[in-house]
Amino acid sequence: MPTVGVKRDLLFRALGRTYTDEEFDELCFEFGLELDEITSEKEIISKEQGDSKASGASDVVLYKIDVPANRYDLLCLEGLVRGLQVFKNTLDAPRYRRVSPTSGEPQKLIITKETAAVRPHAVAAVLRDITFTQERYDSFIELQEKLHQNICRKRSLVAIGTHDLDTISGPFTYTAKPPGDISFKPLSQTKEYTATQLMSLYKTDSHLRHYLHIIEDKPVYPVIYDSNGVVLSMPPIINGDHSKITLKTKNVFIECTATDLTKAKIVLDMMVTMFSEYCSQPFTVEEAEVVCPDGKTCKYPELAYRKERLSSEFINKKVGINESTEKIAQLLTRMCLLSQPTGDGDEIEVEIPPTRSDVIHACDIMEDAAMAYGFNNITRTTPRTYTVANQCSQEDIADKLGKKISETKAAHISNPKTAEFQVARTTLLPGLLKTIAANRKMPLPLKLFEISDVVLKDETKDVGARNCRRFCAVYYNKSPGFEVIHGLLDRTMQLLEVKSVRGDGYHIQAADGKKP
């Protein structure tokens, strides 16, 4: 789950009231969130880098809030506050509108056919007459980064570029060129670089180096120019310094380049809906035209509202409650899903706003109704389907591990402190598997090893057991990678001067019951 860090006082000011930590924790639970941690910038730096580095850091209280991975509308302060206010019935869900420019033609982004080889899609929009403060600006930048790490899959699917529209002039051209033909001054640099030089420069950059692999092997790199040949950005790596936004920026041109057009539309909708409240006409977004290589013209953002119909009986049955059609419509409206009875039996019409791309199926609507009703308010009942639970059999575990547990001579601990430590370990594998289970969010592959002792029963010893030094290695990836482990084994044995022969050396064979 993504974690959103917000300043407590800023959050309470936006909500229009203050809460104790316990009250806000309860509010988050009711809304389907989790208050993960209460900390400060100083405390975070102190934990990660030591007290000496934390001197001078801010003591402002921060709330770290865990947000469901598919709720992109809650990844910033603006969306979080808006959702909570609608949930508490202190605000009606806003209506987002796409508008035409008050004067002149819409901004135009022209996609050339060369982009098909690297990033074929692009969408764009304009936030007109917006007002930034330092807090709003910081939130704007942070939302981009949260989206990049989440739905954008670390910029591999979508990359967001934001530009000061008053420093550039349309129409804009999205094309792709050989890296040696692209030259511009990137953000936070003082001189121009070619794209080739930038890729070398950013190989040591702690932030940008993680995105270089997306295009570095491509024959052409994507680039966006304005009508004067000024480079706006080289997605998905870096924006140009010329069009960077500041606190004084009044008009923001947002472009999203992508390999997945659907994801690009969602990302653009999230960016503009979250921050259009700061425009002179709140919750309005100026449209932009995107001209595709085949000549087709599309207008963005879509800001599409759609309607779904379902019965209150379906929700009552699935959630385990018994509420009227009108009551359920009210519950859904509290979740930013404007709903009303159609008058046709117990049917409810639900309007899905552009901010709720997570709502795909009727079950998603049912889940929101359950959340608004309150999970703690649902009466506990005995399930109508009876099942009998039992532990995994010893044979099943033995088969999965490829070991005969019944033949293992384990030393039992007579007075263990916890249930997990009743037996001295006879293999290192479970420990490595637990480590993998606790680090499933880490990027693959995971390569782990451990050299340590295990305890085996031995009647020849005075204490009835002996220590035995073991070596265990695990390779975890989307593909098996047996050759990696095989290579590690061969190299280890080579260093230990153990020959690959049966008898006095070592050899590999299939476990019992397994195919060789």
Residue-wise pLDDT for 299-321, tens only, equals 999 999 999 999 999 999 999 89
3-state helix, strand, coil in the chain (%, to 5): 35, 25, 40
Q: What is the pLDDT of residue 450?
A: 93
- Identify the CATH number of the domain in which residue 296 sits: 3.50.40.10
Specify the DSSP element, H or E, that contains 49. helix 41-49
Count structural domains, the chain: 4
Residues 22 and 154 in one domain: no
| Domain span at 330 | 306-374
Tokens of 3: 């974690």
Res 279 pLDDT > 70: yes
Whole-number Å distance between alpha carbons of 242 and 176: 20
Percentage of the chain exceeding pLDDT 90 = 62
Which region among 152-161, 392-401, 436-445 has the lowest average model confidence (pLDDT)? 392-401
Residues 148 and 288 in one domain: yes
Tokens of 240: 């140009």
Buried b or exposed e, range 365-380, using 16+ CB within 10 angstroms? bbbbbbbbbeeeeeee
Residues 176-188, mean pLDDT to the nearest whole number? 92
**504: DSSP letter:** T
Q: What is the pLDDT of residue 411?
A: 80
**27: DSSP letter:** H
Q: At what angle do helices 261-275 and 77-87 cross, to 10 degrees?
A: 70
Residues 228 and 365 in one domain: no
Residues 67 and 135 in one domain: no
What SS3 class is residue 123?
A: strand
Which region among 34-48, 110-124, 159-173 has the lowest average model confidence (pLDDT)? 34-48
Residues 219 and 348 in one domain: no
For the chain, give the mean pLDDT.
89
Q: Where are the alpha helices (DSSP H) in 117-256?
A: 134-149, 195-201
Q: What is the pLDDT of residue 512?
A: 61
Domain boundary among 320, 340, 374: 374
Res 392 pLDDT > 70: no
Q: What is the pLDDT of residue 516?
A: 44
In 115-201, at which residue ranges do the beta strands (DSSP E only) sit? 121-127, 158-164, 172-177, 183-184, 193-194
Cα-based torsion angle of the residue sequence 364, 369, 373, 378 in order, rounded to the nearest 10 degrees: -60
**Residue 381 lies inside a defined structural domain of this protein:** no
Residues 195 and 260 in one domain: yes
Q: What is the pLDDT of residue 393?
A: 66
Q: What is the pLDDT of residue 382?
A: 77
Whole-number Å distance between alpha carbons of 314 and 345: 13
Burial bucket for residue 351 (CB in 10 Å: 0-12, 13-18, 19+): middle
Q: Tokens 């001209």 belong to which residue? A: 291
Beta-carbon contacts of 501 under 8 Å, excluding residues fewer than 6 positions away, are: 507
**Residue 392 lies inside a defined structural domain of this protein:** no
Residues 256 and 403 in one domain: no
**Residue 183 lies inside a defined structural domain of this protein:** yes
Residues 107 and 255 in one domain: yes
- Using only the alpha carbons of the chain, give its radius of gyration: 29
**Residue 391 lies inside a defined structural domain of this protein:** no
Q: How confident is the model at residue 282 (pLDDT cuts 50, 70, 90)?
A: very high
Domain boundary among 276, 300, 324: 300
**Residue 108 lies inside a defined structural domain of this protein:** yes
Rounded alpha-carbon distances, angstroms, from residue 353 to 71, 150, 303, 335, 344? 13, 20, 8, 11, 23
Residues 174 and 214 in one domain: yes
Measuring CA to CA, which residue among 469, 434, 466, 467 is closest to residue 448?
434
Residues 342 and 210 in one domain: no
Q: Between these two residues, 2 and 192, which has the higher pLDDT value? A: 192
Q: What is the pLDDT of residue 60?
A: 84
**Residue 322 lies inside a defined structural domain of this protein:** yes
Residues 221 and 146 in one domain: yes
**Residue 501 lies inside a defined structural domain of this protein:** no
Residues 63 and 106 in one domain: no
Alpha carbon of residue 365 to chain centroid: 22
Q: What is the pLDDT of residue 347?
A: 92
The answer to whether 290 and 224 have CB atoms below 8 angstroms apart is no
- Identify the CATH number of the domain in which residue 409 sits: 3.30.930.10
The answer to whether 288 and 109 have CB atoms below 8 angstroms apart is yes
Residues 41-50, mean pLDDT to the nearest whole number? 72
- Identify the CATH number of the domain in which residue 357 sits: 3.30.56.10
Domain boundary among 23, 53, 88: 88
Res 471 pLDDT > 70: yes
**Residue 502 lies inside a defined structural domain of this protein:** no
